[in-house]
Every structure is written in C-alpha cells, then in structure tokens.
C-alpha cells in the first residue's frame, strides 16, 4: 500500500488528525475487503453480499473523511 501524501509533521488540529485516521483506516479496510473478492482469496464460505456491504461502508467512510478534510482546510484557509 503506497504511503499517503500527507505532510510528515503531525497536524495541529485534532479534527484533521481524526479525519486522517478515518481516511487511512478506511482505505486499509477497503483494500482488505476488496482482496476477499479475488479468486485466490475467495473461499466457499465467503459471503460476497457481506463483503459488498463492507466495501460500500469503507467507500462511504473514505468520502466522509475526505469531505471533513476539505471543509476543515477551506475554513482554515479562509481565516
């Protein structure tokens, strides 16, 4: 998984840190869930419907975190 293009310094804002944590954890979860759909990883007990729901939830969490970061950044830049 490639490193994310975030500044190496720890963000000062707790909101930014929280959003970044949600973004990165959701991205890792998304990767893990998507791997379950690969033929090599798929086993007879894999519930594709459940995996699909998990992928949708991960994508939602990523979008939510991205929106939070955009909102925070926009507010900080306007001040």
Q: Where are the domains of the chain?
A: 43-78
pLDDT above 70 for 6: no
Residue 50 Cα distances to 6, 14, 24, 26, 44, angstroms = 32, 33, 22, 16, 14
Per-residue model confidence (pLDDT) at position 63: 94
Say what the alpha-carbon torsion angle 33, 5, 25, 56 is, to the nearest 10 degrees.
-50
Q: Do the beta carbons of residue 26 and residue 62 sit within 8 Å?
A: yes
pLDDT above 60 for 75: yes
Q: What is the pLDDT of residues 11-69, one digit of tens each?
A: 677 888 888 899 999 999 999 988 887 776 667 777 888 889 999 999 999 999 999 98
**Is pLDDT larger for residue 52 or for residue 9?**
52
For residue 24, which of 54, 55, 57, 66 has the smallest C-alpha distance? 66
Per-residue model confidence (pLDDT) at position 1: 40
């Amino acid at each position: 998984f490639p490193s994310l293009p975030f500044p190496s310094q720890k963000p000062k804002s707790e909101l930014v840190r929280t959003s970044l944590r949600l973004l990165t954890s959701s991205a890792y979860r998304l990767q893990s869930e998507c791997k379950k759909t690969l033929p090599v990883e798929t086993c007879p007990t894999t519930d594709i419907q459940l995996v699909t729901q998990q992928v949708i939830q991960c994508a939602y969490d990523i979008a939510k975190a991205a929106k939070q970061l955009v909102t925070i950044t926009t507010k900080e830049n306007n001040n």
